[in-house]
Amino acid sequence: MYVRDVLIRVLMGSSRIIVLLLALLLGATATAAAQQKEDVPASPDGSSETAINPDALPVSVSRIKRALARPPAIRPESTRPVFRVQVFSRSPTIDDILGPDWRKGPTPLGAMTHQEFLNLVTPTDVQGYAAFDNKQALVVAATSFALQWAVTKAMQKLDEARTDRQKAAARKEVDEALAALKKARREAGLPDR
């Protein structure tokens, strides 16, 4: 984890760390070069330069020349340094991201729920049936339901009575019209039907 954090910091543009690492690297190479110069014996002619035999080196110079002759694999578009990191590890689980206690619900000291807010701002005397105990609340609820049922039935009977009155008024009007018709026929001397 620590190496990844350092690499992320370097990638995020922390220029002080880059400068520090480069200074340490250059200092170490300069020290190593100075130690190598001290260990190198002088050549027979008195000069400090030594002849290097390329065949005795543990590397293949021809392979290096071939690799350098190929075109570069990456051509940066800008002069900014490009750092690439590849991390090999397992995918993080939800426990790794949120922590082992993520299943325990909301964190304490979070925002209050709607019901907690209502309990906070509503006085206890007016919350539901707070003014009554359980027995009294049952009586109030029962009478409320009975009153609602009685009012509904009264409305239905009123509607029925209204239609009955309208029917009775219509019959009376028809009977009066028939009586007037019979009276008019008698006065005209026509027989009743």
Separation between Cα atoms, residue 136 and residue 143, nearest integer Å: 11
In one-letter notation, the amino acid at residue 155 is M
Q: What is the structure's pLDDT at 9?
A: 59
pLDDT at 115: 87
pTM of this prediction exceeds 0.85:
no
Residues in contact with 37: Cβ distance below 8 Å, sequence separation at least 6, in sequence order:
48
Least trusted range by pLDDT, from 29-33, 89-93, 122-126: 29-33
pLDDT, residue 19, reads 56
The Cα–Cα gap between 58 and 155 comes to 110
Enumerate the H helices of 40-133 as residue ranges.
61-69, 94-98, 114-121
User: 31 to each of 37, 38, 49, how far by Cα in Å?
Assistant: 10, 11, 19
pLDDT tens across 70-109, in order?
888 777 677 777 788 888 888 889 888 888 888 877 666 6
Q: What is the pLDDT of residue 13?
A: 54
All structural domains of the chain with their residue ranges: 1-38+81-89
Distances (CA, A) of 81 to 18, 21, 59, 76, 99: 11, 14, 29, 9, 36
Provide the percentage of residues in the chain whose pLDDT is more than 70: 69
The interaxial angle of helices 15-39 and 2-11, nearest 10 deg, is: 110
